[in-house]
Amino acid sequence: MTLATLDLAAEVKNILGGLGVKAESYTGGTLAVRSPITGLEIGRLPEETAAGAAKAIDAAHAAFLEWRLVPAPKRGELIRLLGEELRAAKTALGRLVSIEVGKVTSEGLGEVQEMIDICDFAVGLSRQLYGLTIATERSEHRMMETWHPLGAIGIISAFNFPVAVWSWNAALAIVCGNSTVWKPSEKTPLTALATQAIFEKALARFVADGGKAPKNLSTVLIGGRDIGEVLVDHDKIPLVSATGSTAMGRAVGPRLASRFARSLLE
């Protein structure tokens, strides 16, 4: 083990600690994380059980039932705060992406910038969730179109874009009144823990400013394929956005269709 390797492992620990990730969430577990830069271990995470994942999904559904009642512009305020927290953490999170994925620095920072950009977009969207008002054949009547949130949205992300893909889904889902349940790639769970910690900082600010938000609005499930299958098969997940291989898409799509759930496959 070289000095450079030791420094890299120490750097990961410092980044995670600085972002508010508790040490017990990335040490002492069964899921080993290795940086492509050195090939050596930079974390060892506890993995969720299938039963634990199902319980977490139930909790996310309960959070959705509360969050959908919050006015959309108020939901947008949470995402605005998330954008601010991402700006403050851009250097640290971008560096962690570089370490865990092996991307050059500009790519790691660029991925976090995409997260910031989608937050800006989603904040504007929170005041544009329009519905049509349509004339009917009945006098003095109008039909009004109203869009409703779906529920707890499942997100399965791949290793090569470990945080941007989450944000593209989560920022829009949360503004629209949904909760999210994220199963990151087992190759890049550290960036997921860091992102969740950043979200929780934004949520704490939102509540401190008088906002009302339930617990379990954003949930991260650490594990392998079996945890992804729980997410895909759970009847309280009405939509799964899954990014990965074509083989995964061929498996995920029919399983969701079999229970009339929706899919976004990339």
The structural domains of the chain, with segments of one domain joined by +, span 50-265
Residue 68 pLDDT? 98
**Whole-number pLDDT of residue 6:** 54
pLDDT for 1 equals 45
- DSSP 8-class letter at 251: H
Closest residue by Cα to residue 159 from 196, 184, 193, 190: 184
Q: Please give the CATH architecture assigned to the domain spanning 50-265.
A: 3-Layer(aba) Sandwich (3.40)
Candidates 89, 67, 90; CA nearest to 77 is 67
Query: CB of 19 within 8 A of CB of 192?
Result: no
Contact 67, 166 (CB under 8 A): no
20 Rama class: left (phi>0) / alpha (psi -120 to 50) / beta? left
Pairing of strands 218-220, 133-135: unpaired
How, if at all, do strands 142-144 and 133-135 pair?
Answer: antiparallel
Taking 50 as the pLDDT cut, the residues of the chain under it are: 1-3
Distance (Å, rounded) from C-alpha 56 to C-alpha 61? 9
Angle at which helices 3-19 and 189-208 pack, to 10 degrees? 20
How many angstroms separate the CA atoms of 125 and 161, rounded?
24
Please give the distance of CA 64 from its chain centroid, rounded to a whole number.
15
Coil, strand or helix: which one is 180?
Answer: strand
Per-residue model confidence (pLDDT) at position 79? 98
Question: What percent of the chain has pLDDT above 70?
Answer: 98
Measured distance CA(96)–CA(171) in Å, rounded: 21
Q: What is the predicted pLDDT for the residue at 7?
A: 85
Give the model's pLDDT for residue 193.
98
Q: Read off the pTM.
A: 0.94
Question: Secondary structure of the chain: what % helix, strand, coil (to 5)?
Answer: 55, 15, 35
Structure tokens at 49: 């059980």
Please give the pLDDT value at position 199: 98
Q: How far apart are CA 23 and CA 35, in angstroms?
A: 18
